[in-house]
């Protein structure tokens, strides 16, 4: 056990690369303490229980601390804290009785326990002269040059008024001749995330946590590396104090105030408290605030506030009796990875989830943890059967941090994400620029059912009034809705029997569903929920293809390939001629229509997979059979040759209206048309609809309560029309 703890100690304190969580180290350490207490004859002076940390790295000069840097004993439960307080009172009772004082309650100073790297800073006559790591408690590593790069550490002590913040530089009066400042170098959470992003971009190894990042940054042989890392510092005490003029603070709370006035950051949450119950209350308060702090803490520290009692209370082999660290429930723990399951989210995203042997971590028992995505599993090389480190911080979802490779069982297989959806069996697509793989059975997959139905019925899609999220949830739970086609099979009698629904609500809902059958093709395409296909792309597809049959029949892969050929050829010709040239004329082929209108490879890939999926095709056929508008003979756009005669008809109609290419802005509430419906009708005849008024605007359609857009149109002299005039322009009224 000593050998194991020594190895883990070197990994933690010297190599800054611990192979197991703090909580397991603490458990082993406590067990060794118990064994040595049970058999005192077996205590060895070289045992890790008799010293602090590990020897300094040979690459740094060794520095002897003028006063040893000791660790703190740990408390893990309320009973541990009560026992600590009881021992303090028992030890202080004789001294207090002699002074006619009561030992019923002891005053403590409570503060946060930072999760960083402990350092000792030596100042002579107020000026910084040397810095060292904790090392083995008696001597540490000289990191003076690197410490100078930490902006939170003053190179000259300040004498700051606690009220005004003013400073003075009178060293002879305000500073001890020599003092050791003890504190913690750490890294803020946001800085740690930014550092790891830079590491990933440079294809370099990422840090496991902010503590390791801070330790590794401070212990760099090249100070230029340290200065590039955003390190912070918090002071929590002193070592040796030598002064003939300045009295050492007699209370720990006063010492923290002096450190703050001298220019050091100190614990932002600190209190002077009486008795054990107030200590426990402080612990719970700090634990609640933990997640909101900008830095990591792993507990709180209680110290007897009266510093003159510290020597009276004394020390054990490696820690003072007058202080204790009350540790939070472990945020990291070791356990076994039993399986990797795949969850399919409401948007079709496939997320691998670790099924774990239950372990207590972060204040609760954890049996599941996120693995994020396939790339994350590969980069961490996590396999079923591994012993893994699990982390849980506050309310954050537990995650698997890393595998302990030395404990990997033989034959552990590399994880492979399934290529078919585990819920519905549809194909799985992962686009080139994404880390997430997704199920393509959007209209059919049970996991995506509610999200798909809510989107399909939404106002900007099929606009089924009354079909909100709560009703969709109820109907899905009753198994009445499995695909969007089932909306058109709903029965009035059954709907009317629903709790808090009634006959009138049922009639209104069915009327809205019936009305939705005649929605435009663009709305239907948008309602299908195809990834990357928003309203504007849906309108573009409807305009250029004219029918669902044309969309399904399109060879999307070939279309994209030919577009890339043309783009590459244009780039080559420009490079060769070194002058601006017009684009290569496009052949009169449907293969080029959509890509040239701005539909890129991501949309093309989504469309190809969506329309190729048999389950989606089945739902579309079902919708058409139920009377939903999936026009198979509707006119196609003029540049799409799927139906040349119909395309010519479209051009003639547009020309008749004279609205093709005109720009409209809609504002206010129209008497009968919704603004979305009015915009759809304008787009069908080739007009453009924008959201802002400019000199390029041809018409502003103004309804009731029209605001600033109407005023701007009047100022620019743009033609303003009402709904009746719009309908006449569209040829819908005479």
3-state helix, strand, coil in the chain (%, to 5): 40, 20, 40
Report DSSP letters for 210-271, one per residue. Answer: HHHHHHHHHT-SSHHHHHTS-EEEEEEEEEEEE-SSSPPPSBHHHHHHHHHHTT--B-SSEE
For residue 286, the Cα-to-chain-centroid distance in whole angstroms is 23
Could you tell me if 186 and 112 are in contact, meaning their C-beta atoms sit under 8 angstroms apart? no
Residue 187: Cβ-neighbour burial (10 angstroms; 0-12, 13-18, 19+): buried
53: region left, alpha or beta (phi > 0 left; psi from -120 to 50 alpha) = left
On whether the CB atoms of residues 421 and 350 are closer than 8 A, the answer is yes
Please report where in the chains the tokens 């069915």 appear, as a residue. Answer: 510
Number of Cβ within a 10 Å radius of residue 733 = 11
Distance (Å, rounded) from C-alpha 301 to C-alpha 112? 6
d(CA 214, CA 193): 12
What does DSSP assign to residue 511? H
**Residue located via tokens 């990797």:** 340
Q: How many CB atoms lie within 10 A of CB 418?
A: 12
Pairing of strands 719-721, 699-702: parallel
Which residue is catalytic, options 55, 58, 113, 151? Answer: 113
Tell me how far apart the alpha carbons of residues 71 and 323 are, in angstroms, rounded to a whole number: 10
Q: Is 699 helix (H, G, I), strand (E, B) or coil?
A: strand
Q: Which two tokens stand for residue 246?
A: 């300045």
CA dist 286 and 280 (Å) reads 10
Closest by Cα among 642, 649, 638 to 590: 642
CA separation for the pair 520, 535 (Å, rounded): 12
Could you tell me the strand order of the sheet in which 107-114 lies?
Answer: 74-75, 323-327, 297-304, 107-114, 270-274
Identify the burial level of 262 via C-beta atoms within 10 angstroms of its C-beta, where 0-12 means exposed, 13-18 middle and 19 or more buried: buried
Determine the Cα–Cα distance for residues 343 and 533; give it in Å rounded to an integer: 24
Count of other CB atoms within 10 angstroms of residue 307:
20
Active site residue 450: no
- State how far the Cα of 227 lies from the Cα of 145, in Å rounded to an integer: 10
Active site residues: 113
């Amino acid at each position: 056990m000593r050998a194991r703890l020594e190895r883990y100690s070197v990994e933690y304190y010297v190599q800054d690369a611990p192979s197991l969580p703090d909580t397991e180290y603490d458990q082993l350490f406590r067990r060794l303490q118990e064994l040595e207490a049970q058999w005192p004859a077996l205590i060895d002076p070289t045992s890790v229980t008799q010293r602090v940390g590990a020897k300094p790295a040979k690459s740094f000069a060794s520095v002897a601390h003028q006063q040893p840097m000791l660790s703190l004993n740990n408390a893990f439960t309320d009973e541990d804290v009560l026992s600590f307080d009881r021992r303090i009172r028992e030890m202080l009772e004789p001294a207090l009785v002699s002074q006619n004082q009561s030992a019923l309650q002891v005053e403590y100073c409570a503060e946060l326990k930072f999760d960083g790297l402990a350092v000792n800073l030596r100042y002579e006559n107020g000026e910084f002269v040397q810095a060292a790591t904790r090392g083995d408690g008696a001597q540490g590593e000289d990191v003076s040059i690197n410490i100078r790069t930490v902006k939170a550490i003053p190179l000259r002590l300040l004498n700051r008024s606690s009220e005004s913040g003013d400073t003075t530089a009178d060293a002879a009066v305000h500073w001890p001749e020599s003092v050791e400042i003890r504190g913690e170098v750490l890294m803020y959470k946001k800085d740690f995330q930014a550092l790891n992003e830079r590491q990933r971009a440079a294809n370099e190894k990422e840090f496991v946590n902010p503590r390791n990042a801070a330790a590794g940054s401070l212990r760099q042989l090249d100070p230029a590396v340290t200065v590039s890392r955003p390190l912070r510092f918090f002071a929590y005490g002193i070592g040796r104090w030598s002064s003939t003029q300045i009295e050492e603070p007699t209370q720990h709370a006063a010492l923290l105030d002096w450190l703050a006035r001298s220019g050091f950051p100190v614990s932002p949450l600190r209190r002077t408290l009486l008795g054990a119950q107030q200590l426990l209350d402080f612990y719970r308060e700090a634990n609640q605030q933990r997640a909101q702090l900008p830095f990591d803490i792993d507990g709180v520290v209680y110290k007897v506030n009266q510093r003159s009692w510290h020597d009276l209370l004394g020390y054990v082999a490696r820690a003072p009796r007058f202080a204790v660290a009350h540790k939070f429930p472990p945020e990291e723990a070791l356990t076994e990875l039993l399986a990797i399951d795949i969850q399919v989210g409401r948007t079709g995203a496939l997320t691998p989830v670790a099924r774990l042997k239950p372990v207590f971590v972060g204040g609760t028992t954890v049996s599941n943890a996120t693995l994020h995505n396939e790339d994350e599993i590969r980069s961490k090389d996590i396999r079923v059967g591994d012993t893994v480190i699990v982390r849980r911080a506050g309310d954050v979802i537990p995650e698997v941090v890393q595998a302990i490779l030395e404990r990997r069982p033989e034959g552990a297989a590399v994880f492979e994400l399934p290529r078919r959806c585990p819920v519905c069996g549809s194909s799985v697509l992962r686009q080139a620029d994404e880390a997430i793989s997704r199920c393509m059975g959007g209209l059919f997959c049970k996991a995506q059912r509610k999200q798909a139905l809510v989107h399909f019925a939404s106002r900007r899609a099929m606009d089924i009034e009354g079909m909100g999220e709560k009703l969709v949830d109820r109907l899905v739970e009753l198994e009445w809705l499995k695909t969007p086609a089932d909306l058109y099979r709903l029965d009035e009698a059954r709907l009317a029997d629903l709790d808090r629904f009634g006959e009138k609500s049922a009639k209104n809902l069915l009327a809205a569903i019936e009305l939705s059958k005649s929605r435009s093709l663009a709305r239907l395409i948008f309602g299908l929920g195809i990834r990357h296909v928003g309203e504007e792309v849906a309108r573009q597809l409807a305009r250029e293809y004219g029918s669902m049959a044309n969309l399904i029949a399109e060879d999307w892969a070939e279309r994209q390939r030919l577009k890339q050929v043309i783009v590459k050829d244009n780039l080559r010709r420009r490079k060769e001629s070194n002058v601006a040239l017009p684009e290569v004329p496009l052949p009169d082929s449907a293969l080029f229509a959509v890509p040239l209108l701005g539909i890129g490879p991501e949309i093309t890939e989504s469309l190809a997979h969506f329309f190729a999926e048999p389950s989606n095709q089945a739902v579309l056929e079902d919708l058409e059979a139920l009377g939903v508008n999936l026009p198979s003979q509707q006119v196609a756009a003029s540049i799409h040759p799927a139906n040349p005669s119909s395309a010519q008809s479209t051009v003639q109609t547009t020309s008749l209206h004279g609205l093709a290419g005109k720009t409209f802005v809609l504002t206010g509430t129209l008497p009968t048309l919704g603004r979305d419906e009015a915009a759809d009708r304008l787009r069908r005849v080739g007009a453009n609809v924008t959201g802002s008024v400019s000199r390029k605007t041809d018409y502003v359609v103004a309804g009731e309560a029209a605001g600033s857009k109407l005023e701007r149109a009047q100022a620019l002299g743009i033609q303003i029309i009402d709904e009746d005039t719009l309908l006449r322009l569209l040829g819908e009224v005479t």
